[in-house]
Each structure stands twice: as structure tokens, then as C-alpha cells.
Amino acid sequence: MWIAADGAPARPVRAVPCFPWSAPARHVSLRDDDDNERALIVDPDRLDAASRAVLEQALAAAGFVLEIERVVAIDEEVEIRVWRVVTRQGPRQFSTHTDAWPRELPGGGLLLRDVAGDLYVIRDPEGLDEDSQKHLWAFAD
């Protein structure tokens, strides 16, 4: 990931989340190789779509996301989907907007962003158990 700001030449940075699991995609520090902060992203939703996608991919690559190992259920409610999953970090329930589809990651895998901004990754959708794949099939290509 690269950043260009204040007329300075573009330089490589890495995404470093500032806060704990309760808000992993909020307040992200962009740091250079010397660990100097080059930018602080307070609200990724305010980024343009391309920049937000790059940030989400960087966070997924850095491993600061919840990794889904099994999909227990996906229930449709009014304008949201409620996901019940088992992650490497334990069981979770989260909601996504009905028009928020999993995004394909370079090299495979799917990335989901819940309504609170938390990120979830399914590293190998085809490696999930059969029941998980049945729940997921309608939401992924």
C-alpha cells in the first residue's frame, strides 16, 4: 500500500489498527518502514471506494480480521443479514446490509464488512465444510 500526501512523493506504508477487536477497522494508522505515522484514518467509510478497498485488503493481509472457519446460519431480516459463524477467535454473530456482498480478495478468499465496520475473512471458501458452503453459496460467486 502506498500513500501520497501534501505534495510529497508516494511512499509505502502498512496499516496498523489502533484499537482492540471491538473496532478493528476504525482508527487505522498508516506507518512507513521507520514506524512513523504518515496518516491516521479515523473513519474508513469516508474514503473513496478504491482507497477503502485497498485498506480493507491491507488489513486482511495483516491478519487483523476475524477469520471465519464455519458458517452456522445466515438469516435475512429487514435490510440486513444476520450471520452466525465460528471464527478462529470463537463464535460470533454479526450483521451486514443486504446489498453488502462478500468481496473477493486477490489470491482467493472472501472479505466481509459488518455494519459496525468489523472485517471478517474466509480464506478458503471451498475448504469450508459442506453445511457452511450451502449457507454461503448464494452470497459468493
pLDDT by residue for the chain (141 residues), tens only, comes to 888 877 778 889 888 777 654 565 678 888 888 888 888 888 888 999 888 888 888 877 665 678 899 999 999 988 999 999 999 888 999 999 998 888 888 778 898 988 877 889 898 999 999 999 999 887 665
Identify the pLDDT of residue 116.
78
Q: Which domain holds residue 20?
A: 2-62
Out of 40, 62, 84, pick the residue that ends a domain.
62
Q: Torsion over CA of 86, 69, 50 and 11, rounded to 10 degrees?
A: 110
Q: Are 74 and 130 in the same domain?
A: yes
pTM of the entire predicted model: 0.60
Q: By the 8 A CB rule, do 136 and 83 touch? A: no
Q: Which three cell numbers stand for residue 121?
A: 475473512
Identify the pLDDT of residue 22.
52
Number of independent structural domains in the chain: 2
Give the amino acid at 123.
R
Gap between the Cα atoms of 5 and 82, Å rounded:
39
Q: Are 106 and 86 in the same domain?
A: yes
DSSP letters spanning 55-124: HHHHHHHHT-SEEEEEEEEEEEETTEEEEEEEETTEEEEEEEETT-PPEEPTTS-EEEE-TTS-EEEES-
Identify the pLDDT of residue 141.
52
Out of 37, 62, 87, pick the residue that ends a domain.
62
Q: Are 110 and 82 in the same domain?
A: yes
